[in-house]
Homo-oligomer: A and B are copies of this chain.
Amino acid sequence: MKRITERMLIFRRWHCEKHDTPLIPIPEVKRFIFDCMRAVGTPDDYSQQMAEILADADYRGHFSHGMNRLAMYIDQIEKKMCDNKAKPKILKEFGGTAWVDGNNALGVVTANFSNKLAIEKAKQHGISCVSVKGSNHFGICSKYAEDALKQGFIQFNCTNTSPLSVPTRAKEAFFGTNPFSLGAPAKDGDSFLLDMATTTVAVGKIELAVRKNVKIPDSWALNEVGRPEDDPARAMKKPRLSPLGGSEAMGGYKGAGLLFMVDILSGILSGSKYGPNIEAWGKLTEPANLGHCFIVINPDCFAPGFQSRLSDVIKNLRKSPPMDPKKPVMAAGDPEKNHKVSVDRAGGVRYVRNQMETCEKLAKMLKVRPLGSVLKTNC
Residues of A at the B interface (CB closer than 8 Å) are 92, 94-97, 99, 124-129, 131, 133, 154, 167-172, 174, 182, 184, 192, 194, 196, 200-201, 217, 219, 225-226, 244-246, 249-251, 253-258, 260-261, 263-265, 268-271, 274-276, 295, 297-299, 301-306, 309-310, 313, 316-317, 320-324, 327-332
Contacts and interface: CB of A to CB of B under 8 A. Distances in A.
Contacts of A330: 168-169, 253
A288 B149 CA distance: 30
Given A170-B329, A200-B251, A313-B274, A127 B305 contact: no
Contact of A95 (B92, B126, B254, B303): B126
Give 4 nearest A-B pairs by CB, closest first.
Answer: A271-B303, A97-B126, A95-B125, A95-B126
Contact of A263 (B168, B257, B313): B313
B168 A271 contact: no
Given A127-B95, A251-B219, A172 B269 contact: no
B172 A320 contact: yes
Instruction: Tell me which of A126, A184, A192, A258 has the highest count of chain B C-beta atoms within 10 A of its own C-beta.
Output: A126
Given A244-B251, A263-B313, A306 B268 contact: yes
Contacts of A167: 317, 320, 329
Contacts of A200: 245, 250-251
A127 to B, nearest CB: 4
Given A129-B301, A169-B324, A169-B328, 9 more contacts: A127-B295, A169-B323, A171-B321, A184-B264, A184-B268, A217-B250, A219-B251, A244-B254, A274-B313
Contacts of A332: 253, 256-257, 260-261
Contacts of A127: 95-97, 125, 127-129, 295
A104 to B, nearest CB: 16
A264 B312 CA distance: 12
A157 B270 CA distance: 21
A320 B268 contact: no
Contacts of A303: 99, 131, 133, 269-271
Contacts of A305: 271
Nearest to A328: B169
A250 B219 contact: yes
A215 to B, nearest CB: 13
Contacts of A246: 245-246, 250
Contacts of A96: 95-96, 125-127
A313 B299 CA distance: 34
30 contacts: A94-B301, A95-B95, A95-B124, A96-B96, A97-B127, A125-B127, A126-B129, A127-B128, A127-B295, A154-B269, A168-B329, A168-B330, A169-B324, A169-B329, A171-B321, A174-B320, A192-B261, A192-B264, A194-B261, A217-B249, A219-B251, A244-B255, A245-B255, A260-B317, A260-B331, A268-B309, A269-B299, A271-B309, A275-B313, A275-B317
A279 B201 CA distance: 34
Instruction: Tell me which of A309, A324, A331 has the highest count of chain B C-beta atoms within 10 A of its own C-beta.
Output: A309
A320 B124 contact: no
A92 B306 contact: no
Contacts of A297: 97, 129, 269
A291 B205 CA distance: 36
A174 to B, nearest CB: 6
Nearest to A313: B275
Contacts of A327: 169
A201 B226 CA distance: 23
